Amino acid sequence: MKHTLRDLAAKLGCHLLGDGSITVSSVSSLQSASSEGLVFVEDAQYLDAAIASPAAAIIVGDFAAGNFAASTAKSLLISAQPRLAFARAAKLLRDVDRDQAIHPSAIVAASVKIGEETTIGAGSVIGDNVLIGNQCRIDANVTIYSGTTLGDRVIVQAGAVLGSEGFGYVRDSKTGRYEQFPQIGRLVIEDDVEIGANSTIDHGALDETRIRRGTKIDNLVHIGHNVQIGENLVIAAQTGLSGSAIVEDNVIIGGQVGIADHVRIEEGAILGAQSGIPTKKVIRGKGVVFWGTPARPIREYLKELAFLSRSAKKER
């Protein structure tokens, strides 16, 4: 869907320098720019390359606000957050009207309720009493178990499994055999959550697992039963959260992080890739990066690594 630069500037809250009647139809990188394409520059050193590219126009940081020479060569959309404006422009250019669309090969139980403009991909299986909000996108071969609830604008990529049974067993001390602890709770996914391919999220054991609004989850992530995840987290690929972990708002979790059961990660902490948080541990520190297993503040961890490296070299 084409837009004029004038229209985009208004919708994105950008300041327009240059010809607002030019139309653009797509976004691209500098290397693959085309004559109807929009590129972005957040670092002044790339501005000349962007101007020299075939792109129709440039979204650029406010460092370029006074650069009239640039704007005579190429129209500029100036933004305090040029990467964000570029992301939003891409969305506007991609947007099409859509209807609710359930692929005929999807298996959707009769009791499922599906909102407006939601799409369900081929081969997906949606169990009894699942609720799915408006404008969700469920891709192909997804499985959503009975009783799961999804808010609005939730995206679930291919192969993800939502609402599987948690991993809870009771060992019979006489026979040594494991008996499943009841897994009868539910899973609630709030608005604007996005879930990557082949990730798995278990429903609660007796109560609920919940992923709060705006949290983004990468591929092959595991989230166990009873986990409570706050708003606006990013959780990178292959990370795992064990049963009953609590993660507060705005936490950033790197890839392959392991979070044991009953851990609490307090607001705004940052967990480096591959770090590990042992059982029942509390991690506290807004904006503090933690690393290693067991995870500690990265300053401490780096000092330990440096000490170890020096000491081992000193020995013969």
| Catalytic residue numbers, as ranges | 225
Q: Is 119 in the site for a second copy (CB under 8 A)?
A: no
Measured from the CB atom, the residue of 59 and 71 that comes closer to a second copy is 59
Quote the radius of gyration of the chain (alpha carbons, Å). Answer: 24
Count residues near a second copy (CB under 8 A). Answer: 97
Tell me, residue by residue from 240 to 279, as one string, x for binding to a second copy by CB under 8 A and - for no binding: x-x-------x---xxx-x-x------------xx-x-x-
- Please state the closest distance from residue 68 (CB atom) to a second copy, in A: 27
Q: Is 91 in the site for a second copy (CB under 8 A)?
A: yes
Distance CA 299, CA 303 (A): 6
Buried b (16+ CB within 10 A) or exposed e, 130-157: bebbebbbbbbbbbbbebbbbbbbbbbb
Buried b (16+ CB within 10 A) or exposed e, 9-18: beebebebbb
Closest CA to 295 of 243, 232, 266: 266
- 194 DSSP β-pair partners: 155, 216
Which residues from 12-41 bind a second copy, rule CB under 8 A? 26-29, 31-32
Distance CA 260, CA 284 (A): 16
Measured from the CB atom, the residue of 27 and 247 that comes closer to a second copy is 27
Q: Is 97 in the site for a second copy (CB under 8 A)?
A: no
Q: Is 63 in the site for a second copy (CB under 8 A)?
A: no
Which residues from 159-188 bind a second copy, rule CB under 8 A? 159, 161, 164-165, 167, 169-173, 176-182, 184
- Please state the closest distance from residue 104 (CB atom) to a second copy, in A: 9
Residue 186's identity, in one-letter code, is R
Which residues from 275-294 bind a second copy, rule CB under 8 A? 276, 278, 292-294
Tell me, residue by residue from 186 to 225, as one string, x for binding to a second copy by CB under 8 A and - for no binding: ------x-x-xxx-x-x---xx------x-x-xxx-x-x-
Buried b (16+ CB within 10 A) or exposed e, 240-277: bbbbbbbbbbbbbbbbbbbbbbebbbbebbbbbebbbb
Q: Is 101 in the site for a second copy (CB under 8 A)?
A: no
- Please state the closest distance from residue 194 (CB atom) to a second copy, in A: 7
DSSP secondary structure code for residue 132 in this structure: E
